[in-house]
Amino acid sequence: MDRFISKLLFIAACSSIAILALIALFIFKEGVPIIIRSGLGHFLFGRIWSPLEGQFGILPFIIGSLWVTAGALILGVPLGVACAVFLAEFAPARLAAVLKPAIELLAGIPSVVYGFLGVMWLAPIIRVHLGGPGLSILAASCVLAIMILPTIVGVSIDAIHAVPRSYKEGSLALGATEWQTAWRVILPAARSGILAGVILGMGRAVGETMAVIMISGNATQIPHSILDSVRTLTANIAIEMGYAVGDHREALFATGIVLFFFIMALNTVALRVARRRF
């Protein structure tokens, strides 16, 4: 009987891998031909996206994804890690019991709501005070920074809790202050765990679609400043999928392949880093 169940579970486990394999197979089958036809170099480094005229350069979108993600990390990581250190080390237990679920709740807000807030509230502020169209890299980065907070905070708190108590006690016993202990001992010891959280957050930022479509303006140019509008890889697929036929459709699948490698690389790095834990 046990063997039967373990077989059944094995089949269940295989099915999820099979789904992944099928998805990969399908994306590649649909997307690879256009990459071959227009040339990998032209596809990846072409600057002009004009699908109805047969020009499929996705460099602006690769750069757009990188900018938006980098912006989200620059804003979100210090905030998230600081938040995690406070909650794990300094906050009174009662306060932490309220704050931690509140931050986790951020993860439950649908991304379209974030996008809506960004359009109605953040973009006009940026346009009035900083210039540009408002729907920009900066706006998208701000919203994504908030969206990746729960991931970074949650994983970082776990990493900090995983640091052996003796480290902290030893440091305090040597006369270091609480702050010195947190900054010099606990954070370095929890580094790999925190890094894993950051990379998971990065994966979410790269993959986010709805909110980004709403607040990044989706221009097909290569941005010159953080106040310029950009289009990310995910947004490009989502915006044009509905209309695309023929080569255009294949080019969107090819965009998906690039995104696929992007996220695979991130996850591999995350796994590597996370494994180097205590």
Distance CA 227, CA 130 (A): 8
Nearer to other proteins, 108 or 246 (CB): 246
Nearer to other proteins, 102 or 245 (CB): 245
Phi, psi of 55 (to 5 degrees): -110, 115
Structure tokens at 105: 């709740």
Nearer to other proteins, 9 or 82 (CB): 9
One-letter amino acid at 161 equals H
Compute the least distance from the CB of residue 139 to other proteins, in Å: 12
Strand 55-56 and strand 49-50: the pairing is antiparallel
Torsion angle of C-alpha atoms 159, 163, 268, 43, degrees rounded to 10: 50
Structure tokens at 265: 């690389």
Compute the least distance from the CB of residue 202 to other proteins, in Å: 25
Please provide the DSSP assignment of 110-125 as one string. -HHHHHHHIIIIIHHH
Nearer to other proteins, 6 or 177 (CB): 6
Structure tokens at 248: 């255009």
Compute the least distance from the CB of residue 42 to other proteins, in Å: 18
Nearer to other proteins, 4 or 165 (CB): 4
Of 156, 138, 140, 261, whose CA–CA distance to 199 is shortest? Answer: 156
Compute the least distance from the CB of residue 128 to other proteins, in Å: 9
Distance CA 159, CA 148 (A): 17
Write out the residues near other proteins by the rule CB under 8 A: 1-2, 4-5, 8, 50-52, 119-120, 123-124, 127, 133-135, 213-214, 217-221, 228-229, 231, 239-240, 242-245, 248
Nearer to other proteins, 63 or 91 (CB): 63
**Interior angle at CA 132, CA 126 and CA 134, nearest 5:** 40
Compute the least distance from the CB of residue 124 to other proteins, in Å: 6
Question: 């690879």: which residue's tokens?
Answer: 32
Compute the least distance from the CB of residue 127 to other proteins, in Å: 6
Nearer to other proteins, 203 or 217 (CB): 217
Task: Spell 39-62 as b/e; 16+ CB within 10 A means b.
Answer: eeebbeebeebebeeeebbbbbbb
Compute the least distance from the CB of residue 188 to other proteins, in Å: 44
